[in-house]
Amino acid sequence: MAVTIKDVAKQANVSPSTVSRVIADNSRISPKTKQKVREVMETLGYYPNFQARNLVIQKSRTLGVIMENSAQLAFQNPFFPEVLRGISAFAHESKFGLYLSTGSTEEEIFEEVVSMTLGRQVDGIILLYSKINDRIMEYLQSNEIPFSVVGRPYKDAETINYVDNDNIGIAAEVTNYLIGLGHRRIAFVGGDPDHIVSLDRLEGYRRALAKAGIAVDSRYIAEKNLISGQEGPAIQNMMKSSVSPTAIVTHDDLVAYEVIGYLRDLGLRVPEDVSIIGFNNHTLSEHLKPPLSSVDISICELGSRAAELVLAQIEGGQEEAGRFTVPARLIERGSCQRP
């Protein structure tokens, strides 16, 4: 016969309600009582029926994790498995599961979020991106659904839980590093300008050039929406100009890998002809030839902090929106040198 909560209560000489509070890790129960009850649970081989308990308290103990693109495309980017590692580690400690979005289009993902929240399949949401006029974020806000964001929100940042790097500051630091090496013609190959991280990194690049008295040359800036599907020709045109850049700041390491390939097609060497820096410090970057200089943005911590923020909101212990700025650092490798 299966061991019940009443069996545990009788053996521990406490009430069944006390056992329930121990299972829920209620702060009103003393550490001594918690230890005694847990020892009895282990001795008797009692495993709480969390599913039944969650039905009673109308909680799923599950977090929805939303990627902008389909899971198939997202997992091609090493950023997502690493940020999920941080989320899942913190969720596991809090005995929460994860529900990953699986839609392939923006509309499918939005419908999925509506379904999982209205159906109480999740207690809160983590958005793994932040972009301008995001329909999902507006839905979560207007319906007062607990959520957090990996990235600075476009608006209402003072009322939203989010975690981010100082992308403006670190992009300025990266650009200053190249200026310090003697570069004056520095290009920027960015990501999607609808995404706040892309806008912030471009802004940091612009600020560093302005502070150094270097004019921003529009020929040295390539953004994803302008070159989508034409990345190769765009880089080639940039590098074939009479005053081609001697250094390139890229949106992330994946973009850097692509750019390096285009440079090689032109017979240009890294770093002898062109220095290049990425962001995210993917594991592969240190094994390239030459190894890629990159910014370590502490991806795993971004994930764990995002989980911490949304769980605080779910558990009701948060009085105002929380914000974390996770440190980032430039890792100098062999892809940069003096011009």
Name residues whose C-beta falls within 8 Å of residue 148's C-beta, 6 or more positions apart in sequence: 124, 125, 126, 127, 160, 161, 162, 163, 306, 307, 309, 310, 313, 322
Residue 40 and residue 8 in contact, taking contact as beta carbons nearer than 8 Å: yes
Sorted by where each begins, the domain ranges of the chain are: 5-48, 62-165+299-327, 167-296
As its CATH architecture, domain 167-296 has: 3-Layer(aba) Sandwich (3.40)
Same fold flag, 62-165+299-327 and 167-296: yes
Pick the closest to residue 67 from 123, 141, 126 (CA basis). 126
Residue 17 C-alpha from the chain's centroid = 39
Cα gap 322→72, rounded to integer Å: 31
Residue 61 to residues 13, 57, 200, Cα–Cα distance (Å)? 29, 10, 34
In this structure, which topology does domain 5-48 adopt according to CATH?
A: 434 Repressor (Amino-terminal Domain) (1.10.260)
Name residues whose C-beta falls within 8 Å of residue 89's C-beta, 6 or more positions apart in sequence: 300, 303, 304
Pick the closest to residue 94 from 301, 309, 299, 300 (CA basis). 309
Scanning 292-337, the segments in alpha helix (DSSP H) are: 299-314
Pick the closest to residue 186 from 272, 270, 245 (CA basis). 245
Q: What is the pLDDT along the chain (339 residues), one digit of tens a residue?
A: 567 788 888 999 998 778 877 876 777 789 899 999 999 988 888 766 554 455 445 678 999 999 887 666 667 889 999 999 999 999 999 999 999 988 888 889 999 998 888 888 899 999 999 999 999 999 999 888 999 999 999 988 888 999 999 999 999 999 999 999 999 999 999 988 899 999 999 999 999 999 999 999 989 998 765 445 567 788 888 888 789 999 999 999 999 999 999 999 999 999 999 999 999 999 999 999 999 999 999 999 999 999 999 999 988 756 677 899 999 999 999 999 999
Model pTM score: 0.81
Residues listed for the chain = 339
Residue 162 and residue 309 in contact, taking contact as beta carbons nearer than 8 Å: yes
Residue 166 to residues 44, 182, 197, 289, 327, Cα–Cα distance (Å)? 51, 25, 9, 29, 8
Residue 234 and residue 227 in contact, taking contact as beta carbons nearer than 8 Å: yes
Class of the CATH-defined domain 62-165+299-327: alpha beta
Cα gap 126→100, rounded to integer Å: 10
Scanning 244-325, the segments in alpha helix (DSSP H) are: 253-265, 299-314
